[in-house]
Amino acid sequence: MGTGLPCGGAEHRILIENSEYWLRNYGDLAMLEVTVRRLRERWPQATIGIMTESRALVAAYFPDALGITVGDRNPWGRSGPLERVCAALGPALVGPGAVAWLRARSRLLARAIRVRDRLRGRRSPPAERADATGAKPATELVPRIEQRHPGAARAVREASLVLALGGGYLTDADLPQAGRVLDLLEYASAAGIPAAMVGQGIGPMRDPDLRERAARVLGRLPLIALRERRRGPGLLDSLGVASSAVTVTGDDAIELAQHVRNVRLGNDIGICLRVAEYAPVAARAQESVGAAVRGAAVEFGARPVPLIIAETPGSPDRATTLPLVRASANAVAALGRFVRPREVAEQVGRCRVLVTGAYHLAVFALSQGIPVVALTSTEYYDDKFLGLDDMFGGGVRLIHLDDPELGAQLAIAIREAWKAAETVREELCVRADEQAAASREAFERLFELLERSHA
């Protein structure tokens, strides 16, 4: 290539801002798996660091990568004996202990914060103010990431590239994570470290502070690859981001589902109901969803399949999905808690129709030519699913969970999707292949960006 780089990019250190630090969302894991594989294909000897709260889980899922935490003192140091053991054992054996530790630590941390806040309240120290010259307190001169996440700051300073993985976190619905990612990207840009975003779903974004920060940070990035074109490009344009930096690729997880695509159409009905703070669902609506899916399974002689894409504390799909099929005589057993995303995509691939409130299950289905009945209760999920429908040229039927005729409307949607499945399959697969190719082209731009910076 004539860049003067060491063979295999041996000196590269690529820091991935992973959108889910506990590695408990199989959609995020799918994007991460595709990203790591692409980076390895280009630079076999590069060091790949993944931001996380569990080095053990990173080692179990990605043995050739480093887990980097926000408090790491030596983020790019070699893996220790524990990580090597976890890499050998894999996620099924490592996962339960790693997550138990994360939960215990979270409880202890929350307790410590409450005690600290009570003590601060008793002392009531005067707030720091600018002195007579107008100078800010010293703490305000230190970048926020160095104060809150010093390990991440160290990792950025020693990186060759900072890459923000795909997700839907640049939105009003996820302000803490949006702030964390913007902190990282802004710090990288200020330090002269190349940074980019891939597979992004952006918005809704009306919060004025978030918009101001996003405009300041995103406008400095040379590449932002979006997973949809319905909302993202216009939103970035409204923030002043140059169109030359923006490209639309589709979701990076499409490639993983593409690789497990079945030759024949399945005969199961997949179901996942997402209930979370950002996706509220009334108890009566949950009952209606279960009844409609069970009824359709009987009507078509199909097996209902509970599909779990997120095991995170704030959105445990297992707890809200399994009850929906419990009364079915022939329901398929759910996968275990610490599987690989490929296994989830394969289970989706045995379905003829998918009913889902979870975005990445819809990605897995559409990428394999399977129509989707999408369940939504918020504008955030409206945008996610309508963006997918646009990228695939159809294949998604939106059902609102607050519809007073929910049960009847859902039954009709499932019936129509079942009948149309053979007709829409080929076109959905073609659209998936086009998006996977566009995503790879965006990564070529990313590779060239880093290689030019090291030429």
Domain 256-431, architecture per CATH? 3-Layer(aba) Sandwich (3.40)
- Annotated domain spans of the chain: 7-254+437-453, 256-431
pLDDT at 207 over 70: yes
pLDDT tens digits for 70-127?
999 999 998 899 999 999 999 999 999 999 999 998 888 778 777 777 777 765 444 4
Strands (E), 181-287: 195-202, 224-226, 246-248, 268-272
More confident residue, 413 or 125: 413
Rg of the chain's alpha carbons, rounded to an integer? 23
CA distance 403 to 292: 14
Residue 135: pLDDT band with limits 50, 70, 90: very low
Q: Mean pLDDT throughout 308-323?
A: 89
Residue 141: pLDDT band with limits 50, 70, 90: low
Alpha carbon 28 to its chain's center: 4
pLDDT tens digits for 68-78?
999 999 999 98
pLDDT tens digits for 226-281?
999 999 999 999 999 999 999 999 999 999 999 999 989 999 999 999 998 889 99
Whether residue 255 contacts residue 438, with contact meaning beta carbons closer than 8 Å, is answered with no
CATH code: domain 7-254+437-453 is 3.40.50.2000
| Contacts with 131 (C-beta within 8 Å, 6 or more apart), sequence order | none
pLDDT at res. 130: 43
> Same CATH topology for 7-254+437-453 and 256-431?
yes
Q: Mean pLDDT throughout 215-230?
A: 97
pLDDT tens digits for 21-49?
999 999 999 999 999 999 999 999 999 99
pLDDT at res. 329: 87
pLDDT tens digits for 331-358?
999 999 999 999 999 999 999 999 999 9
pLDDT at 212 over 70: yes
Indicate the Cα dihedral angle 123, 127, 128, 130, nearest 10°: -160
